[in-house]
């Protein structure tokens, strides 16, 4: 059965089992590999993307629940890699291995969209993704910088 | 169950036709890889290279080939900086790509680059003192003479070991560019200058760019390469400056192609299950249960990988399902009944009986590594005066738990093997490929990808070997094998569980007169055998250090920090306990014990302690429930050659309900003769603080019935951003030697610091990690 998905503003029809986690449809049916697989049980957040603006751990989110909604992945954050959050990440050289960073950026972006001035405590509560390299120190600084850049751009 | 005996030659066709007809001609895969956006792997240059490390393109782009693997430590940038410093090219034009492990099988490095120039670690003008300096054809315990020398990424040695030949490569190319320009202009070469990719002759006012002259330089041999000298640190203009990492822009857009992102035409996916008890194998499985399931192509049992191909570790045999998508393969495999043959002598292991065995080993005779003075006599006399302090510590099995689960894509054809993988040992994987397929190493091509975390070379595990076995049974079809998270915990190697008993005799003033250190670990546990001497740095006139080993079955390897990290927890904790028994300040206690030694770098160690204490405001008042703890971190100071020295002060709070918070860390770190990229050093220090915080607070893998119990992130816990210290201050100070490296053993001090802080605040001393298993409440 074909399902219709709206991903990064583009309409796609996919023929998959409706129970398939959204992650695998995004990565394998649509070829958008920026969203990562790591734990498969919604613990680490490497697979975080947005469904109707909300951060979702797509490894444990059936594709059928995303039908009719707006999906945004790391590839949809900007066309040129220069969204304020991406500029902030580059300015602070935040990633190390980088594998968790797509999910980290999507979680942080969701936080900034609902809270343009997050405190450290807001970041602690709002960004619960795991990073094994422990890039957290620079990620925290980058979130604060991104908040400033987003306001400057607005 | 309706199982069937395993026939290793069976390839059981699943639903539909098993398509074997897809065939990539040898060159096609390369063209395909070149076109893949975001891929970092080797491509043949469009213009002649200047040497094996450098291609300058007509548009002045400088392609620098990288022979180590980028896994977050910044090698993609620092290796390029070492070449570019000498090449004197425009840094903004540099494009790293991976070196070819295939060419490395077919070509030798120039003879004049083989020997380390200079007079060792204290010679600023030389190549330092590489860890793997001895020649070894295989690269296993030294450095091969092959084109890209040592392609391993391990032991924090990429900068230390590769610097001399990377600087030489850059210098040789620069001098040949200058020679080619001089010849073109008919002027003496010593009147030509090279800077920022521009060649100039000031007398005639002529200038050109590297890109315009590179084709001539490629045909201009160096007349006297043996005379090329390394640029000494005082002349560096790029090395030693903070450079943003070149891999970052593609890591914030999702464009970076990790091995898991490799997609090839006709590629099929493999999901695997191996026996969770190491060394177990498949007894039977029911392939009929998955026949007809969506996308399923075939089922393959595969044997226990030859331990000679997996660095002596014994992993398990297993079963793979190959399907059109990985989700289909994994879902089918989950539905397939499998019975295991579990070696009974391995299934009896559990954490409790292994711990008991380690404790018993501490009491049994061990291998004495250091024995000075009369330890037993001094301890006996001190016991009569009640001046003996004794403590037993333990650390659990710990995995790497990198975020990218193990995976590899392999295409085997009749005369060629292609492997797409993130790999810390590509030369060894090349060897495995040749052994498994019978195709010579000269025909094995590795397309190296950035790794989604590494944390220790041996953690690569057998994903390449498993993928090779499955692809070899499916020649002509690219097979992408991917582990589940749970399978990744089976396929990795662990830092061995360990114990230590430390016993000291103190004099009337509380200074140690004798110290006995016994450590126990499994035999191949990379602790005892790597001789991490627990107490070499602190002065004690009578000292004995012995290793006591047992035999367990868990595959152990060089996880980040190796056995040394556990040993630093034992040593620094015990020094805190001695300072407490002596009623002395732990900073001044350490400082005095270092100053009493004759260690070659003791002034640098004292400097680190003083500086970290000063930075932290040591001794100034803190709120109740908050304390400071200090520790020294060093490697190599007993050798008098290379060393890396730092000291850290950790400010730690424990709330009455037992919540531990690492509030602030002050780091004094030596920079030796020079750091290549101080920005990457800072990032590595920041990351390792939380790495070892995790070891101390959270992480443990227990063994139940021979298998790893915690095998996903719900049971194996990891700090999130809320536990990361808000303040990390890092200052560097210069010293007069080259560093050993700092990618794996900085931040170890946080372990003892947390345990000591918990003791000071709660009054409870916990010696078994991780701390979260204990009741940390107080008041």
What's the CATH number where A24 sits? 3.10.20.30
Contact residues, chain A, for B698 at CB < 8 Å: none
Query: Can you tell me the ipTM of this complex?
Result: 0.98
As a whole number of angstroms, the distance between CA B220 and CA A153 comes to: 52
| 3-class secondary-structure state, position B113 | helix
Closest residue by Cα to residue B122 from B639, B643, B736: B736
Closest residue by Cα to residue B633 from B724, B544, B543, B740: B740
Q: Which residue of B has its CA nearest to A97?
A: B72
Residue B482: both structure tokens together? 């991917």
Contact residues, chain A, for B560 at CB < 8 Å: none
Supply the DSSP symbol for B304. P
Q: Clarify whether residues A72 and A90 are in a common domain.
A: no
Q: Clarify whether residues B520 and B650 are in a common domain.
A: yes
Closest residue by Cα to residue B760 from B652, B672, B636: B652
Closest residue by Cα to residue B66 from B89, B47, B40: B40
Q: Clarify whether residues B105 and B147 are in a common domain.
A: yes
What pLDDT sits at residue B456? 82
Q: Does B721 contact A96 at a Cβ distance shorter than 8 Å?
A: no
More confident residue, B369 or B107: B107
What is the span of the domain harbouring residue B48?
Answer: 36-251
Q: Clarify whether residues B337 and B438 are in a common domain.
A: yes
Q: Clarify whether residues B506 and B569 are in a common domain.
A: yes
Q: Is any Cβ of chain A less than 8 angstroms from the Cβ of B258?
A: yes
Q: Clarify whether residues A88 and A69 are in a common domain.
A: no
Confidence class of residue B532 from pLDDT cuts 50, 70 and 90? low
Nearest to A137 among B249, B257, B724 (CB): B724
Query: Model's pTM, two decimal places?
Result: 0.95
Q: Is the residue at B27 inside a domain?
A: no
Q: Clarify whether residues B665 and B530 are in a common domain.
A: yes
Q: Is the residue at B31 inside a domain?
A: no
Q: Clarify whether residues A64 and A94 are in a common domain.
A: no
Q: What integer is the mean pLDDT of B738-761?
A: 94
Q: Does A93 contact B683 at a Cβ distance shorter than 8 Å?
A: yes
CA distance to partner chain B, nearest, from residue A127 (Å): 7
Q: Does A41 contact B485 at a Cβ distance shorter than 8 Å?
A: yes
Contact residues, chain B, for A73 at CB < 8 Å: 254
The burial of B103, by beta-carbon neighbours within 10 Å (0-12 exposed, 13-18 middle, 19 or more buried), is given as: middle
| 3-class secondary-structure state, position B18 | coil
**Count of domains forming chain A:** 2
Q: Is the residue at B778 inside a domain?
A: no
Q: Is the residue at B214 inside a domain?
A: yes
Nearest to B253 among A31, A86, A97 (CB): A86
Q: Is the pLDDT of residue B585 over 90?
A: yes
Contact residues, chain A, for B699 at CB < 8 Å: none
Q: Does B713 contact A134 at a Cβ distance shorter than 8 Å?
A: no
As a whole number of angstroms, the distance between CA B253 and CA A29 comes to: 19
As a whole number of angstroms, the distance between CA A93 and CA B680 comes to: 9
Q: Clarify whether residues A91 and A131 are in a common domain.
A: yes
Q: Which of A45, A76, A107 is the last residue of a domain?
A: A76
Q: Does A132 contact B402 at a Cβ distance shorter than 8 Å?
A: yes
Instruction: With beta carbons less than 8 A apart as the criterion, state whether A85 and A146 touch.
Output: yes
Closest residue by Cα to residue B278 from B551, B631, B679: B551
Angle value at C-alpha B756, between B639 and B623, nearest 5 degrees:
125
As a whole number of angstroms, the distance between CA B534 and CA B198 comes to: 53
Q: Clarify whether residues A23 and A61 are in a common domain.
A: yes
Confidence class of residue B643 from pLDDT cuts 50, 70 and 90? confident
As a whole number of angstroms, the distance between CA B3 and CA B286 comes to: 5
Q: Clarify whether residues B309 and B420 are in a common domain.
A: yes
As a whole number of angstroms, the distance between CA B412 and CA B489 comes to: 27
Q: Clarify whether residues B238 and B263 are in a common domain.
A: no
Q: Is any Cβ of chain A less than 8 angstroms from the Cβ of B267?
A: no
* pLDDT tens per residue across span B116-150: 999 999 999 999 988 887 887 766 678 899 999 99
As a whole number of angstroms, the distance between CA B447 and CA B101 comes to: 8
Q: Clarify whether residues A71 and A88 are in a common domain.
A: no
Q: Which of B437, B456, B491 is the last residue of a domain?
A: B491
CA distance to partner chain A, nearest, from residue B29 (Å): 19
Q: Clarify whether residues B485 and B499 are in a common domain.
A: no
More confident residue, B641 or A149: A149
Q: Does B260 contact A73 at a Cβ distance shorter than 8 Å?
A: no
Mean pLDDT score of chain B:
91
Tokens 């977050």 locate to B72
Q: Is any Cβ of chain A less than 8 angstroms from the Cβ of B484?
A: yes
Q: Which residue of B has its CA nearest to A91?
A: B244
Q: Which of B491, B515, B548 is the last residue of a domain?
A: B491
CATH of the domain at B376: 3.30.365.10
Q: Clarify whether residues A96 and A70 are in a common domain.
A: no
Nearest to A81 among B249, B402, B724 (CB): B249
Q: Clarify whether residues B187 and B325 are in a common domain.
A: no
> Which residues are registered as beta bridge partners of B407?
B482
Q: Is the pLDDT of residue B29 over 60?
A: no
Q: Does A132 contact B403 at a Cβ distance shorter than 8 Å?
A: yes
Q: Clarify whether residues A59 and A88 are in a common domain.
A: no
Closest residue by Cα to residue B405 from A86, A56, A41, A16: A41
Q: Clarify whether residues B684 and B703 are in a common domain.
A: yes
Radius of gyration of chain B (CA): 28
The string of DSSP codes covering B367-395 is: EEEEEES-HHHHHHHHHHTT-EEEEEEEE
Q: Is the residue at B386 inside a domain?
A: yes
The string of DSSP codes covering B447-481 is: EE-B-S--SSGGGGTTHHHHHHHHHHTTTTS-EEE
Q: Clarify whether residues A71 and A96 are in a common domain.
A: no
Residue B15: both structure tokens together? 């639903």
Instruction: Give how far the C-alpha of residue B464 lies from the chain's centroid of Cα atoms, to the nearest Å.
Output: 18
CB contact residues (below 8 A), chain A span 4-43, against chain B: 17, 20-21, 24, 28, 31-41, 43
Q: Is the residue at B25 inside a domain?
A: no
Nearest to A33 among B261, B326, B455 (CB): B261
What pLDDT sits at residue B4? 42
CA distance to partner chain B, nearest, from residue A68 (Å): 23
Tokens 């499916």 locate to B474
Closest residue by Cα to residue A48 from A87, A116, A105: A105
Contact residues, chain A, for B153 at CB < 8 Å: none
Q: Clarify whether residues B611 and B676 are in a common domain.
A: yes
Q: Which of B190, B225, B251 is the last residue of a domain?
A: B251
Q: Is the residue at B194 inside a domain?
A: yes
What is the span of the domain harbouring residue A128?
Answer: 84-153
**Count of domains forming chain B:** 3
Size of interface A-B (CB pairs under 8 A): 174
Q: Clarify whether residues A59 and A32 are in a common domain.
A: yes
CATH of the domain at A94: 1.10.150.120
Q: Clarify whether residues A97 and A72 are in a common domain.
A: no
Instruction: With beta carbons less than 8 A apart as the criterion, state whether B214 and B58 touch.
Output: yes
What pLDDT sits at residue B237? 98
Highest mean pLDDT among B520-534, B562-576, B696-710: B696-710
Contact residues, chain A, for B326 at CB < 8 Å: 24, 28
Q: Is any Cβ of chain B less than 8 angstroms from the Cβ of A89?
A: yes
Q: Does B257 contact A33 at a Cβ distance shorter than 8 Å?
A: yes
Q: Is the pLDDT of residue B485 over 70?
A: yes
Q: Does B690 contact A105 at a Cβ distance shorter than 8 Å?
A: no
Q: Does A132 contact B251 at a Cβ distance shorter than 8 Å?
A: no
Q: Clarify whether residues A7 and A41 are in a common domain.
A: yes
CA distance to partner chain A, nearest, from residue B722 (Å): 4
Q: Does A134 contact B689 at a Cβ distance shorter than 8 Å?
A: yes
Q: Does B72 contact A95 at a Cβ distance shorter than 8 Å?
A: yes
| 3-class secondary-structure state, position B778 | coil
Q: What integer is the mean pLDDT of B655-676?
A: 97
Nearest to B251 among A32, A75, A101 (CB): A101
Contact residues, chain B, for A129 at CB < 8 Å: 720-721
Closest residue by Cα to residue B488 from B271, B776, B197: B271
Q: Is the pLDDT of residue B26 over 80?
A: no
As a whole number of angstroms, the distance between CA B549 and CA B347 comes to: 20
Q: Clarify whether residues B620 and B762 are in a common domain.
A: yes
What pLDDT sits at residue B312? 80
> Which residues are registered as beta bridge partners of B590?
none
| 3-class secondary-structure state, position B330 | helix
* pLDDT tens per residue across span B486-510: 999 999 989 999 999 999 999 999 9
The pairing of beta strand B54-56 with beta strand B703-704: unpaired
Which of B250, B252, B682 to mutate to test binding with chain A, by most A CBs within 10 Å of its CB? B252
* pLDDT tens per residue across span B395-429: 999 999 999 999 999 999 999 999 999 999 999 99
Which of A23, A28, A91, A96 to mutate to test binding with chain B, by most B CBs within 10 Å of its CB? A96
Q: Is any Cβ of chain B less than 8 angstroms from the Cβ of A63?
A: no
Q: Is the pLDDT of residue A129 over 60?
A: yes
| 3-class secondary-structure state, position B560 | coil
What pLDDT sits at residue B327? 97
| 3-class secondary-structure state, position A124 | helix
Supply the DSSP symbol for A46. T
| 3-class secondary-structure state, position B407 | strand
Contact residues, chain A, for B483 at CB < 8 Å: none
């Amino acid at each position: 059965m074909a399902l219709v998905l709206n991903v990064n503003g583009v309409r796609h029809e996919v023929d998959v089992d409706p129970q398939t986690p959204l992650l695998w449809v995004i990565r394998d049916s649509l070829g958008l590999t920026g969203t990562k697989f790591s734990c498969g049980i919604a613990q680490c957040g490497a697979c975080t993307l947005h469904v109707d603006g909300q951060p979702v751990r797509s490894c444990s989110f059936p594709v059928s629940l995303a039908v009719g909604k707006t999906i945004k992945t790391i590839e949809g954050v900007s066309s040129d890699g220069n969204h304020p959050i991406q500029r902030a990440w580059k300015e602070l050289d935040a990633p190390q291995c980088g594998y968790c960073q797509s999910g980290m950026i999507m979680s942080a972006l969701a936080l900034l969209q609902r809270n343009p001035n997050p405190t450290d405590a807001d970041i602690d509560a709002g960004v619960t993704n795991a990073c094994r390299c422990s890039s957290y120190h620079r990620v925290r600084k980058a979130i604060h910088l991104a908040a400033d850049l987003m306001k400057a751009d607005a | 169950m309706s199982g069937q005996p395993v026939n290793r030659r069976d390839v059981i066709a699943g639903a539909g036709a098993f398509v074997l007809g897809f065939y990539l001609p040898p060159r096609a895969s390369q063209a395909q890889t070149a076109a893949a956006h975001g891929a970092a792997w080797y491509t043949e240059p469009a213009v002649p290279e200047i040497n094996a490390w450098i291609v300058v393109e007509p548009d002045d782009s400088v392609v620098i080939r990288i022979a180590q693997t980028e896994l977050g430590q910044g090698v993609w940038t620092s290796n390029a900086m070492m070449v570019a410093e000498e090449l004197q090219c425009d840094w903004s034009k540099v494009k790293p790509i991976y070196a070819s492990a295939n060419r490395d099988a077919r070509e030798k490095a120039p003879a004049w680059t083989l020997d380390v120039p200079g007079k060792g670690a204290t010679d600023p003008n030389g190549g330092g003192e590489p860890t793997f300096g001895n020649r070894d054809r295989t690269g296993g315990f030294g450095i091969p003479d092959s084109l890209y020398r040592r392609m391993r990424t391990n032991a924090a040695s990429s900068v230390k070991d590769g610097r001399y030949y990377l600087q030489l490569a850059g210098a040789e190319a620069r001098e040949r560019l200058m020679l080619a320009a001089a010849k073109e202009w008919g002027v003496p070469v010593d009147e030509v200058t090279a800077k920022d990719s521009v060649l100039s002759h000031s007398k005639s006012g002529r200038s050109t760019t590297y890109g315009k002259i590179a084709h001539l330089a490629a045909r201009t041999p160096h007349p006297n390469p043996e005379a090329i000298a390394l640029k000494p640190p005082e002349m560096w203009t790029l090395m030693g400056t903070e450079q943003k990492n070149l891999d970052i822009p593609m890591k914030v857009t999702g464009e970076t192609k990790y091995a898991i992102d490799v997609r090839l035409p006709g590629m099929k996916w493999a999901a695997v299950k191996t026996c969770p008890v190491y060394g177990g194998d498949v007894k039977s499985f029911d392939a009929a249960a998955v026949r007809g399931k969506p996308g399923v192509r075939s089922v393959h049992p595969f044997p226990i990988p030859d331990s000679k191909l997996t660095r002596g570790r014994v992993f398990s045999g297993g079963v793979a399902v190959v399907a059109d998508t990985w989700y289909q393969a994994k879902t089918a495999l989950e539905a397939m009944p499998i019975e295991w043959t579990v070696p009974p002598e391995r299934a009896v292991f559990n954490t409790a009986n292994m711990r008991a065995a380690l404790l018993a080993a501490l009491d049994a005779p061990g291998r004495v590594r250091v024995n000075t003075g009369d330890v037993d006599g001094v301890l006996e006399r001190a016991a009569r005066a009640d001046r003996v302090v004794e403590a037993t510590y333990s650390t659990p099995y710990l995995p790497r738990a990198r975020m990218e689960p193990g995976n590899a894509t392999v295409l085997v054809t009749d005369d060629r093997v292609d492997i797409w993988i993130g790999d810390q040992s590509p030369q060894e994987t090349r060897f495995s490929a040749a052994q498994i397929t019978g195709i010579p190493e000269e025909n094995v091509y590795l397309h190296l990808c950035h790794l989604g975390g590494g944390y220790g070379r041996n953690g690569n595990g057998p994903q390449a070997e498993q993928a090779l076995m499955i692809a070899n049974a499916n020649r002509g079809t690219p097979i992408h094998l991917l582990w589940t998270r749970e399978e990744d915990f089976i396929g990795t190697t662990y830092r061995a569980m360990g114990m230590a008993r430390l016993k000291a005799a103190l004099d009337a003033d509380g200074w140690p007169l004798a110290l006995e250190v016994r450590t126990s670990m499994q035999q191949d546990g990379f602790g005892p055998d790597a001789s991490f001497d627990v107490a070499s740095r602190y002065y004690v006139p009578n000292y004995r250090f012995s290793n006591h080993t047992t035999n367990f079955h868990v595959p152990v390897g060089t996880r980040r920090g190796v056995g040394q990290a556990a040993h630093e927890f034992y040593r620094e904790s015990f020094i805190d306990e001695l300072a407490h028994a002596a009623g002395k300040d732990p900073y001044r206690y350490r400082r005095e014990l270092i100053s009493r030694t004759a260690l070659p770098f003791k002034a640098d160690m004292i400097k680190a302690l003083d500086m970290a204490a000063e930075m932290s405001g040591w001794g100034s008042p803190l709120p109740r429930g908050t304390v400071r703890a200090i520790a020294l971190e060093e490697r190599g100071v007993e050798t008098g050659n290379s060393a890396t020295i730092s000291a850290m002060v950790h400010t730690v709070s424990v709330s009455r309900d037992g919540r531990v918070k690492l509030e602030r860390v002050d780091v004094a770190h030596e920079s030796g003769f020079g750091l290549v990229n101080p920005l990457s050093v800072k990032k590595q220090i920041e990351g390792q603080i939380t790495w070892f915080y995790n070891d101390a607070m959270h992480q443990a893998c227990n063994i139940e019935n021979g298998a790893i119990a915690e095998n996903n992130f719900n049971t194996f816990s990891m700090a999130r951003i809320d536990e990361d210290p808000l303040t990390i201050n890092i200052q560097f100070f210069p010293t007069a030697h080259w560093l050993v490296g700092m990618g794996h053993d900085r931040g170890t001090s946080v372990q003892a610091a947390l345990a000591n802080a918990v003791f000071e605040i709660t009054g409870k001393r916990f010696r078994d990690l991780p701390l979260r298993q204990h009741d940390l409440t107080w008041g």
